[in-house]
Amino acid sequence: MRGNIIKIVVGGSVIVSVSLTSVTVCADETKVDIPLMQPTPAPGMPHTVIYSYSSTRLNNAVAAGQAAGALIPDIEDRIAKLTQAYNELDTQLSNPVNSSPNSQTISKAAIDTKALISTEIENLTQLKTAAEVYKAVTTPIPPGSISTGKLSNNTDPGDFQRASERLKLIMTNAIQNADSLINSSTMIKTNASGEINVTKTADTTSTYFNGEINTSVNVTTANTVGAISTEKTTAVITGLGSGTVNATSNGEGQAPSNVIAVGNDTLASVKDGESAIVIGDNAHVENSSIGIGRMAIATEGGLALGDGTNAGDSAIAIGTSSSATGQASVATGLFSKATGANSVALGANSVADKDNDVSIGGKILNKVTGLWDDFTRTLSGVTDGTDAHDAVNKGQLDTAKTDAIDAAKGYTDTAKTAAVNEANQHTNSEIQKVLDKGSATVADAFSIGKDAQATGAASTATGVNSQATGDESTAIGIKARASGELSVGTGAGASAEGMYSTAIGAISEATGANSVALGANSVAEKDNDVSIGGKIWNAVTSSFDDFTRTLSGLADGTDAHDAVNKGQLDTAKTDAIDAAKGYTDTAKTEAVTEAKGYTDTTANAAKTAAVTEAKGYTDTTANAAKTAAVTEAKGYTDTTANAAKTAAVTEAKGYTDTAKT
């Protein structure tokens, strides 16, 4: 024996472990903890009782199990067979064959064996009495029931105390009587159907009673999986579905507090004073984390909701097989993944693999091609952005596009008018040179977790120190707050204060009415505001710095208030430039054509006026010297008129050609 601990294995299906501090009975793989020397743990300390006819009257306690009626009949059967062996030895000793030395040696061995059998019968009888005592004073929990909290059944505290004191006395005697049996290395055989093997190990720490009958005794040391650890048990795996209970240790040497673990092979690894909640088969959580769902995993400060979810430090994963492994990341939706630090993946199959990334799209397997195709989603209901890093909607994009086109048109119209005016002025100036030669002008309550509070009507608070004070509000996560009516705060330290507000991510804040803050440290303080960024403390400068995130995977906006992506912005910019160029080219052509027409008309008028004036002058002059100078005047006039005509036409055409070019 070591530390006054003895474990009795009855057949391999029933185990009884006895010590000065506790008794553990396991029937059909259902574990039973019965306090002995210390029947009442210190107030406020966690206490787990999982066994047939279990009971507990402590705070932060769990009691579960079903009737273990097979224990007493097994012990009675064992006592009957040992009694038969005892009587057979007694008969042999009463009728010795002879008095030879060999006969005397055999008789001595038979006497020793008889004494050992007598001790074994006494031990089993006392254990039977102990089982009957507990069965008599406890109220069994129905099969399949689970009771947690204060007074998990109707057992009277006085009955519990009296039974504990009586069992303590019985077990003390049983241990003393068992010492002589355990400290002897003896093998006892009764018959083929009831063989008993008693073997003491070399370090005197274990003794095994093995037999074909379903009863045996097994003493093992503490700190073994399946045994009661008195040193380093800091986490508990509790499986109620299959009727199995396992225990593990994280080596901290301190007991956890306020840990809830439900499901087959669940694991809560926490430090002293820390809390955690784990519900679901094979789920695993660490300090200050919550894991709900089969194979859900949540490391320190994480929240994993759904089968196969995985949440890293201060991260949130919601949805079957969702994964948020980046520091302070958020992944919501089937198969969503957020691997970048401070990233957010929203929707099934969404992937956010960059730091400070917000993604509503990702890749999906194409069953036809066998390749991974990119997919996007429409982000609708986006209000007009006002700050430099706000998302803009399609309405803003269309307005910007229209404004750009209008500005381009205005600039082009101005340029066109200026070009036409300048061309006209230049044409007029050039024509005037010709005219100078003549004359012319031109935005029900439920709580789970330590100190969780759901005080708002139909509100929900989940997590240590979480508070849902607004009507129909929801707070999920360590110290999460939801004070606004119909608000949602999800994540460690998340706060949703505005009516209809939503804050998702560690230390995120949504204070504006109908506002949304997405991602750790995000702040939405305006009404109808959606924020994916905020301010973060800079330890170097001792001040808060603005930070932003990239909103990727954004589908093309189609409605006036849809967000637009960079591809749409680039396309709109190109379209605006092309439209402006086209409009300018058309205006240029129209200006040249108009100037050319004006020039031609003006030149023709000037030509006609010049000829008429010249003719008049010639006629007047000719009248003065008609007879004498007719021939000379005609020749001179023709020569001058032709030269002027040719020069005017040539000069006008040259200018017009130059202006056109």
Residue-wise pLDDT tens digits, 222-255: 332 333 333 333 344 444 333 233 333 333 334 4
Cα separation, 404 vs 583, in Å, equals: 13
pLDDT beyond 90 at 516: yes
Interval 594-615 mean pLDDT: 78
Interval 536-556 mean pLDDT: 83
Q: Give the angle 173-177-181 at the CA atoms, nearest 5°.
A: 155
pLDDT beyond 80 at 114: no
pLDDT beyond 60 at 406: yes
Identify the band that residue 192 occupies on the pLDDT scale cut at 50, 70 and 90: very low
pLDDT, residue 96, reads 57
pLDDT, residue 552, reads 85
Identify the band that residue 135 occupies on the pLDDT scale cut at 50, 70 and 90: low
* Residue 626 burial by Cβ neighbours in a 10 Å radius (0-12, 13-18, 19+): exposed
DSSP conformation class of 565: -
Two structure tokens written together for 523: 């702040």
pLDDT, residue 296, reads 96
Per-residue DSSP letters for 3-64?
Answer: TTEEEEEEBTTEEEEEESSEEEEEETTEEEEEESSS-SPPTTS-EEEESTT----STTEEEE
Cα separation, 431 vs 606, in Å, equals: 8
Cα separation, 398 vs 410, in Å, equals: 18
Range name among 32-41, 302-311, 328-337, 539-548 with the lowest pLDDT average = 32-41
pLDDT, residue 21, reads 33
% of the chain beyond a pLDDT of 90: 23
pLDDT, residue 110, reads 62
pLDDT beyond 70 at 333: yes
Closest C-alpha among 341, 316, 532 to residue 523:
532
pLDDT, residue 491, reads 92
Interval 360-377 mean pLDDT: 85
Cα separation, 19 vs 629, in Å, equals: 157
pLDDT, residue 161, reads 53
Query: Which residue blocks in 254-295 are alpha helix, DSSP H?
Result: none
Two structure tokens written together for 71: 């224990």
Interval 161-183 mean pLDDT: 49
Interval 291-307 mean pLDDT: 95
Q: Which of 141-145, 426-430, 480-484, 518-522 has the highest mean pLDDT?
A: 480-484
Range name among 52-56, 119-123, 609-613 with the lowest pLDDT average = 52-56
More confident residue, 568 or 651: 568
Interval 210-233 mean pLDDT: 33
pLDDT, residue 498, reads 94
pLDDT, residue 421, reads 82
Interval 349-364 mean pLDDT: 90
- Give the tens place of pLDDT for each residue, 251-270: 333 444 578 888 888 888 88
3-state secondary structure 408-426: HHHHHHHHHHHHHHHHHHH
pLDDT beyond 90 at 12: no
pLDDT, residue 325, reads 96
pLDDT, residue 269, reads 83
More confident residue, 289 or 538: 289
Would the pTM count as exceeding 0.85? no
Closest C-alpha among 286, 256, 560 to residue 401:
560
Q: Which of 70-84, 323-337, 445-459 has the highest mean pLDDT?
A: 323-337
Q: Which of 194-198, 346-350, 534-538, 624-628 has the highest mean pLDDT?
A: 346-350
Say if residues 119 and 181 touch (Cβ distance below 8 Å).
yes
pLDDT beyond 50 at 206: no
- Give the tens place of pLDDT for each residue, 477-505: 999 999 999 999 999 999 999 999 999 99
* β-bridge mates for residue 121, sequence order: none
Say if residues 420 and 599 touch (Cβ distance below 8 Å).
no
More confident residue, 330 or 184: 330
Mean of the per-residue pLDDT values of the chain: 70
pLDDT, residue 252, reads 39
Two structure tokens written together for 287: 């300090």
Longest CA–CA separation in the chain, Å:
198
More confident residue, 209 or 271: 271
pLDDT beyond 80 at 19: no
Residues with Cβ within 8 Å of 439's Cβ and at least 6 positions away in sequence, in order, are 609, 613
Interval 396-410 mean pLDDT: 85
pLDDT, residue 560, reads 85
